[in-house]
Amino acid sequence: MKKRKNRNILVFVYLILVGLSLFFVLSHGINSVLFNEIRKGTADPFGLMVFFLMGLYPLSFLVSNFILEREMTKSDWVLTVLSFMIGAFALVPSYFKPYVRKDRPHSIKPTFMAWLGLGSTLMFLVYGIMVGDSVAYSSQFMSDPLVFIMTLDFITMTILSVLIAKEHSVGWKFAFLPLVGWWAILLD
């Protein structure tokens, strides 16, 4: 019953965040200052940090599917690949359905990828927080659709990682540390 409640909460939050994102894009357009700055190589390190972390979240969920030996259907694979291109929001629907463990007697756990992900995450966090301007990022939050959607996406993925970790790990509370805690749980 508790898992069903968690999934219902996730569906509710997901629908609200997708609705907010669509509303924001429709009302502000899709012109992104941050994306143009990234292309030109002039982006603020804080915004760049969030942008790169949003690429690491889908990777972490892909690695988690192998580590947790989760059964993946063709639609799960499509959503995972799409998440690298259109955002981590694409991952959420595959977690609405019940977890099914795949029977793999000689499963190789991809810990190298998890260590690489943790190291990359820490590198981007240190760089973005030490060198970046969080005030500039927060001012872009209400004016730049990419920043707005990335932030909501980041919150969604953190919530999803907490819910999945709660089902599979004693130390699930570490998942509240965005991405770093999730990688640490996967390495446990």
| DSSP assignments along 38-66, one per residue | HHHT---HHHHHHHHHHHHHHHHHHHHHH
What is the pTM (predicted TM-score) of this model? 0.78
CA distance 176 to 188: 16
Share of the chain above pLDDT 90, in %: 18
Tens of pLDDT, residue by residue over 76-119, are: 788 888 777 777 677 777 776 666 666 655 455 678 888 999 99
**Maximum pairwise Cα distance, the chain:** 52
The pair of three-digit structure tokens given for residue 109, joined into one six-digit string: 């756990």
| pLDDT tens figures, 23-32 | 776 776 667 8
Number of domains the chain contains: 1
Domain that holds residue 93: 2-98+107-187
Backbone angles phi, psi at 98, to 5 degrees: -65, 150
